Amino acid sequence: MRTRVGIVGGGPAGLLLSHLLHGRGIESVVLEARSRKDLESEIRAGVLEHGTAELLIETGVGDRMQREGAVHHGVKLQFDGRRERIDLEELTGKTITLYGQHEVVKDLVGARLDAGGEILFEAKGIEPLDLESGEPKVRFVRDGEEQELRCDFVVGTDGFHGVTRKALPEGARAEYERRYPFGWFGILVEGPPSTEELIYALHDRGFALVSTRSPQIQRLYFQCDPGDEAGSWSDDRIWTEMHARLDTDDGWTVNEGKIIQKNVVQMRSFVCEPMRHGRLFLAGDAAHIVPPTGAKGMNLAVADVRVLSRGLAGFYESGDTNGLDRYSATCLRRVWKASRFSWWMTSMLHRFDGDNAFQYRMQVAELDYVAGSRAASTSLAENYVGLPMAPELEASAEERTAQGAS
């Protein structure tokens, strides 16, 4: 089997890359270990940055998102017995869209299959090979038979636990990681929304978040021990904790409902450098992980594949390797800024082991400053709605040539 770009991983990063390449007339094949049913049924959060939502619309896969997604113009910070709103649109001219990651996946799978794209589901034992040669390959087993995909480039979008990052020689990569001493206990709830916009809450018992997935389904989280088992928490205990951290003195209370899903989300920051080795490129969670506090995970993946699709288009259309050569450095600038923002939000809103009353009052003071200072509010807002995906790539070829000559 032969294609131009072999994509390992059928999550949003891999599917969107295949979709973007198709728009430029570049053939690709996506290898995904899960079945289509399992892939599309994995419910994941989805706060889409302004640029992410725009890109989905521009490339023809945003229709359902526009119908069913919820556009939010602000977010709320709750601390010290009060709630303050950060007006994202007024501060930046941009908004965010709540639309589940699994819904994005469904839209992309449908678009690729409708266009005749190849997504090979249930591809097992994936092994990237010959990555430093001019014709790398990916071996895999499907329907009980070993197969081989030969290509010009391999792209790893198979997540943190995937095989592609491990294909980089240890001496050729550096990995930076921070594990947080807490997790998020997440619940999906059937019931009416408690709020029109997300609420990020600091409480002396720990962090809590109120979100909305649809008019009928709500998503809520609270800080927990990372070793907690979801099944060990009864519904009554969960609601007691949510009310303790979120209910306010003015009578506002979080709406209860039927809990249809419980899970514990682990928290870590992770970056692999570089994001390229030979003919292998990493994108999304295969290269970097951020704690969910900043809502950056899928958005970073989208930014990665946007940059990579342009680099590949330049290579196939004119033989220009500049975009591919700069891919890793270009993406990592944004990755580290998003990592900083996610770390800052996490540190400001969570209780850490050993924190005392002084540290808690410092967190309250920081939130008070962010909410009360236009400059600080703007900084939070512009990071939350999304920094430019890759502003240097907007320059024309002529401008890049002139910059190089200078």
CA terminus-to-terminus distance, the chain:
45
| Correct CATH for 5-46+100-179+268-350 of 3.40.50.300, 3.40.50.1110, 1.10.1040.10, 3.50.50.60 | 3.50.50.60
Give the number of other Cβ atoms within 10 Å of residue 9's Cβ. Answer: 28
Condensed to tens digits (0 to 9), the pLDDT of residues 276-317 reads: 999 999 999 999 999 999 999 999 999 999 999 999 999 999
Q: Among residues 136, 291, 292, 350, which one is catalytic? A: 292
Residue 290 three-state SS:
coil
Q: What pLDDT shows up at residue 137?
A: 96
Q: Among residues 200, 203, 288, 291, which one is catalytic? A: 200
**% of the chain with per-residue pLDDT over 70:** 96
What is the rounded distance in angstroms from the CA atom of residue 359 to the CA atom of residue 363? 6
Return the CATH fold of 183-265: D-Amino Acid Oxidase; Chain A, domain 2 (3.30.9)
Q: What pLDDT shows up at residue 202?
A: 98
Condensed to tens digits (0 to 9), the pLDDT of residues 171-216 reads: 999 999 999 999 999 999 998 888 889 999 999 999 999 997 777 8
What is the rounded distance in angstroms from the CA atom of residue 159 to the CA atom of residue 163? 9
292 noted as active-site residue: yes
Q: What pLDDT shows up at residue 216?
A: 84
Q: Among residues 102, 296, 327, 350, which one is catalytic? A: 296
200 noted as active-site residue: yes
Q: Among residues 72, 94, 102, 350, which one is catalytic? A: 72
Q: What confidence tier does 217 reach under pLDDT thresholds 50, 70, 90? A: confident
Average pLDDT, integer, range 37-57: 90
Condensed to tens digits (0 to 9), the pLDDT of residues 315-362 reads: 999 999 999 999 999 999 999 999 999 999 999 999 999 999 999 999
Residue 3 three-state SS:
coil
Phi then psi for residue 221, to 5 deg, are -135, 155
384 noted as active-site residue: yes
Q: Which helix (H) or strand (E) holds 331?
A: helix 322-349
Q: What confidence tier does 406 reach under pLDDT thresholds 50, 70, 90? A: very low
Q: Enter the pTM of the model.
A: 0.92
Strand partners, 63: none
19 noted as active-site residue: no
258 noted as active-site residue: no
Q: What pLDDT shows up at residue 44?
A: 73
pLDDT at 1 over 80: yes
Residue ranges covered by each domain of the chain: 5-46+100-179+268-350, 183-265
Q: And the tokens for 92?
A: 């930046």
